[in-house]
Amino acid sequence: TILILDFGSQFSHLIARRIRELGIYCELLACNVKISDVKFKPKGIILSGGPYSVYEEGSPHVDPAVWDLKVPVLGICYGLQEIAHTMGGKVQRCDKREYGKAEIDIVSPSRLFAGLSHPTVWMSHGDSLSAAPAGFTVVAKTSSSPFVAVENEEKKIYGIQFHPEVTHTPEGTMLIKNFVAGICGIKSGGWSMNSFIDTEIERIRTIVGPTAEVIGAVSGGVDSTVAAKLLNLAIGDRFHAIMVDNGVMRLRECEEASVELREKLGINLTVVDAADLFLGKLKGVTDPEKKRKIIGNTFIEIFEAEAAKLEADVEKKGRKIEFLLQGTLYPDVIESVSFKGPSATIKTHHNVGGLLANMKLKLIEPLRELFKDEVRALGELLKIDANLIWRHPFPGPGIAIRVLGEVTPEQVRIAREADYIYIEEIKKAGLYRKISQAYAALLPVKAVGVMGDHRTYEQVIALRAVETTDFMTADWFEFPYDVLKKISSRIINEVKGVNRCVYDISSKPPATIEWE
Ligand code: XMP
């Protein structure tokens, strides 16, 4: 295992990504974690970049015990400065931040740079080294910076000013591989999804023990389905999945997901049809945040009631429900362990977050070490349907925040049918995986149209499609016109109550992905 100590750079998680892609396991922890608290013995350590200045008061530093481990250390950007600061080099503040591509000169042979031929790297720093620590060799420089890479081969300490983890450093992955595979001696390919499945099933069995039972909510999305399948493989019917039909899921979604989960994946699933209850509570409500709150709270209410019923059944067998399954992914974990602390942008959407407080259950999170694409790869190995694995994310409040204004059963029908056609055509055009998220929103306005000899006065559908990697920023998708034409004509012809279609050409920011 490689230990990444995170000083809060916006790229830290990419270091983890690159190492995992090499088939090597790594964990990212806060930079100031106590080494005695780390549960594994790292074979190498990477110090990430960060927004601080090493000499600044209050700037973060690693536990000195890091240096006693005597394992190879690679410092990136701030990590390099941390090395210099500890080992007696000098760091200076630059007048100007260096940001962007730079060409480096490799001036001395180095195991870290073995086989690299491309001199372009990505820089993003304010401070830089003005003197290397004693015993360190200069390996690379640029025209403006004489200490771009330094190393002490004997102590196996390496520092680089640039960021090998970003794709703008074309040979960055090779450099990282040189460190983790070459210098730290970890075989690449040892960490794979296949080995993950086996170890995770064992881990779940150990945590849950021979008799305890587990419940969890499933939505039909990839995360909850993969998590549920792992639980099912580990403990069979002692895992109880609950799917709540809130009446604002996509057309046929609930049925299709329950067939997949129950019949194909063999998961012990209860579907609660609560559509009328949700829609009843949403009657007359137009404020988006109120809709979210109503749906979130009602979900918790229903889930708890269903859990209580299950609990009663389980108790009859002399057993107990002790755990709640959650599909937390690694980015959420990183967000909460990062030195920066939980960021201000953490979603307010975690529907099941509120469950824990009331239910006195212990959490079980089988995906907490995985990135989204790893979850998808896992889903493929677990033979989960490709449509489900690649499904666009869907917000907890569902179509309720895509029907602008009041959510009535009729409005939900229109939005659902339009959305279904939209997605169907996107798939037919082979664009579904290119788009990160697409949906149809129903606008709360009426427009005049003409059909045959008649005037119509009907509603407007807004089509949204975005490309994004992190959902924090997004660009609208550039559809070929003929695809838009087909979508528009099908929706207007086939969905009763719609006579107009518009395409949303707003980026995020300043718009958001959802309309509400
Ligand atoms: P916005 O609209 O904030 O959306 O740009 C960013 C991502 O978050 C999803 N989203 C939600 N997910 N509950 C959820 O579970 C919510 O209340 C919610 N609001 C937005 C949205 O679909 C997009 O993927």
**364-417 residue pLDDT tens:** 999 988 888 889 999 999 999 999 999 999 999 999 999 999 999 999 999 999
DSSP letter for each residue of 311-366:
HHHHHHTT--EEEEE----HHHHHHHHSTT-S-TT--S--GGGGHHHHH--EEE-T
Pocket of ligand 1 contains residue 513 by CB under 6 Å: yes
Q: Give the DSSP letter of residue 261.
A: I
Q: Name the token pair of 499.
A: 């006579």
298/58: higher pLDDT: 298
Closest-CA residue to 303 (of 399, 216, 395): 216
330-336: Cβ within 8 A, 24+ apart: 330/13, 330/16, 330/367, 330/368, 330/369, 330/370, 330/371, 331/13, 331/371, 331/372, 332/368, 333/368, 333/369, 334/6, 334/12, 334/13, 334/16, 334/28
Q: Name the token pair of 503.
A: 């395409």
Q: Name the token pair of 174.
A: 């090779």
What is the pLDDT at residue 9? 87
What is the pLDDT at residue 355? 59
What is the pLDDT at residue 349? 45
- Taking only the tens place, the pLDDT of each residue in 475-512 is 999 999 999 999 999 999 999 999 999 999 999 989 99
Task: For ligand 1, atom 9, name the residue with the nearest CA.
Answer: 395
Q: How many CB atoms lie within 10 A of CB 117?
A: 9
The CA 276 to ligand 1 mean position distance, Å, reads 24
> What residues act catalytically?
77, 163, 165
Whose structure tokens read 């396991």? 25
- Beta-sheet strands, E only, within 174-332: 213-217, 239-245, 269-273, 321-325
Q: How far is CA 490 from CA 360, 455, 463, in A?
A: 50, 19, 13
Pocket of ligand 1 contains residue 221 by CB under 6 Å: no
DSSP letter for each residue of 419-469:
HHHHHHHHHHTT-TTT-SEEEEEEEEEEEEEEETTEEEEEEEEEEEEEE-S
What does the pLDDT average to over 145-163?
96
Closest ligand 1 atom to residue 512 Cα is 5
Pocket of ligand 1 contains residue 393 by CB under 6 Å: yes
Pocket of ligand 1 contains residue 512 by CB under 6 Å: yes
Q: Which residues pair with 239 in a beta bridge?
A: 214
Task: Give the 3-state secondary structure percentages of the chain, helix then strand then coil, rounded to 5.
Answer: 35, 25, 40
The amino acid at 498:
V
Q: Name the token pair of 515.
A: 């309309």
Q: What angle do CA 240, 245, 250 make, to 5 degrees?
A: 125
- Taking only the tens place, the pLDDT of each residue in 64-85 is 999 999 999 999 999 999 999 9
pLDDT band with cut points at 50, 70 and 90 for residue 125: confident
Pocket of ligand 1 contains residue 67 by CB under 6 Å: no
Pocket of ligand 1 contains residue 349 by CB under 6 Å: yes
CA–CA distance, 174 with 17 (Å, rounded to integer) = 14
| H-only helix segments in 100-252 | 172-177, 193-208, 222-235
Contact call for residues 351 and 296 (beta carbons, < 8 A): yes
Q: Residue 225, annotated ligand binder?
A: yes
What is the pLDDT at residue 330? 82
Pocket of ligand 1 contains residue 365 by CB under 6 Å: no
Among 352, 391, 514, 516, residue to substitute to test ligand 1 (most atoms within 8 Å of Cβ) = 514
Whose structure tokens read 């587990």? 214
- Beta-sheet strands, E only, within 310-436: 321-325, 362-364
What is the pLDDT at residue 356? 59
Closest ligand 1 atom to residue 436 Cα is 24
Closest ligand 1 atom to residue 392 Cα is 24
Task: For ligand 1, atom 20, name the residue with the nearest CA.
Answer: 395
CA–CA distance, 49 with 35 (Å, rounded to integer) = 19
- Taking only the tens place, the pLDDT of each residue in 104-119 is 999 999 999 999 987 8
The CA 249 to ligand 1 mean position distance, Å, reads 14
Q: Is the backbone of residue 115 left (phi > 0), alpha (psi -120 to 50) or beta?
A: left
pLDDT band with cut points at 50, 70 and 90 for residue 346: very low
Closest ligand 1 atom to residue 514 Cα is 2
Q: Residue 222, annotated ligand binder?
A: yes
Task: For ligand 1, atom 4, name the residue with the nearest CA.
Answer: 513
Q: Residue 206, annotated ligand binder?
A: no
Q: Residue 224, annotated ligand binder?
A: yes
Q: Name the token pair of 304.
A: 């708890």
Closest ligand 1 atom to residue 396 Cα is 15
What's the Rg (C-alpha) of the chain?
A: 27
What is the pLDDT at residue 439? 98
Among 287, 295, 347, 401, residue to substitute to test ligand 1 (most atoms within 8 Å of Cβ) = 347
Q: Name the token pair of 474.
A: 């997004």
Sequence-distant (≥ 6) Cβ neighbours of residue 288 within 8 angstroms = 401, 516
Closest-CA residue to 234 (of 315, 325, 316, 332): 325
Among 287, 513, 515, 516, residue to substitute to test ligand 1 (most atoms within 8 Å of Cβ) = 513
Q: What are phi and psi of 136, to 5 degrees?
A: -100, 140
Q: Residue 219, annotated ligand binder?
A: yes
Closest-CA residue to 250 (of 391, 408, 444): 391
- Taking only the tens place, the pLDDT of each residue in 307-322 is 999 999 999 999 999 9
What is the pLDDT at residue 350? 42
Task: For ligand 1, atom 11, name the residue with the nearest CA.
Answer: 395
Q: What's the mean pLDDT when you consider all of the chain?
A: 92
Q: Name the token pair of 500.
A: 């107009």
Percent of the chain with pLDDT over 90: 79
Contact call for residues 282 and 256 (beta carbons, < 8 A): no
Pocket of ligand 1 contains residue 395 by CB under 6 Å: yes
Q: What angle do CA 334, 339, 343 make, to 5 degrees?
A: 65
- Please state the length of the chain: 516
The CA 495 to ligand 1 mean position distance, Å, reads 26
